[in-house]
């Protein structure tokens, strides 16, 4: 595996992700922001942040599988959430948990969460992009 995830001493231990990702592979993969579209371009989970987060993560897994990788190869994620407020955290974490279970991964790599005013279409509540390193 090209990615080692760690929580260094001296930094907060956060259960839902690791603070540091160490990449040792040879192929960098940059995945465009994934929204909650299925393979036919239909929005999954309209109005449901949890379902949309799950679909975004599953789409990243699909993209990685196509280039010979898996979610275990993800070094960094960035999530953009429409109208972010802290009360949305349980829904976000539930979506990550459901996707992680389906993808067979834990813990989640470092992630940056950004609140945004809007995404490409009004039905999309979240977009997640990824950087991966594959051996």
Coil, helix or strand for 62? helix
Query: What is the pTM assigned to this prediction?
Result: 0.90
| Cα–Cα distance list, 90 to 33, 50, 100, 101 (Å) | 22, 9, 15, 16
- pLDDT tens readout for residues 13-63: 887 888 999 988 889 999 999 999 999 999 999 999 999 999 999 999 999
| Residues 6+ away with beta carbon under 8 Å from 12 | 19
């Amino acid at each position: 595996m090209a990615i080692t995830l760690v929580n260094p001493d001296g930094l907060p231990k956060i259960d839902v992700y690791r603070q540091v990702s160490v990449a040792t592979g040879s192929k960098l993969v940059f995945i465009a922001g994934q929204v909650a579209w299925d393979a036919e371009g239909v929005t999954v989970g309209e109005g449901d942040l949890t379902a949309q987060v799950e679909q975004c993560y599953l789409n990243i897994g699909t993209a990685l599988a196509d280039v010979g990788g898996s979610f275990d190869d993800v070094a960094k994620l960035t999530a953009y959430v429409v109208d972010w407020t802290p009360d949305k955290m349980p829904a976000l974490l539930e979506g990550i948990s459901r996707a992680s279970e389906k993808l067979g991964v834990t813990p989640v790599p470092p992630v940056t969460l950004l609140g945004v005013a809007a995404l490409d279409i009004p039905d999309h509540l979240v977009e997640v992009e990824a950087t991966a390193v594959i051996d």
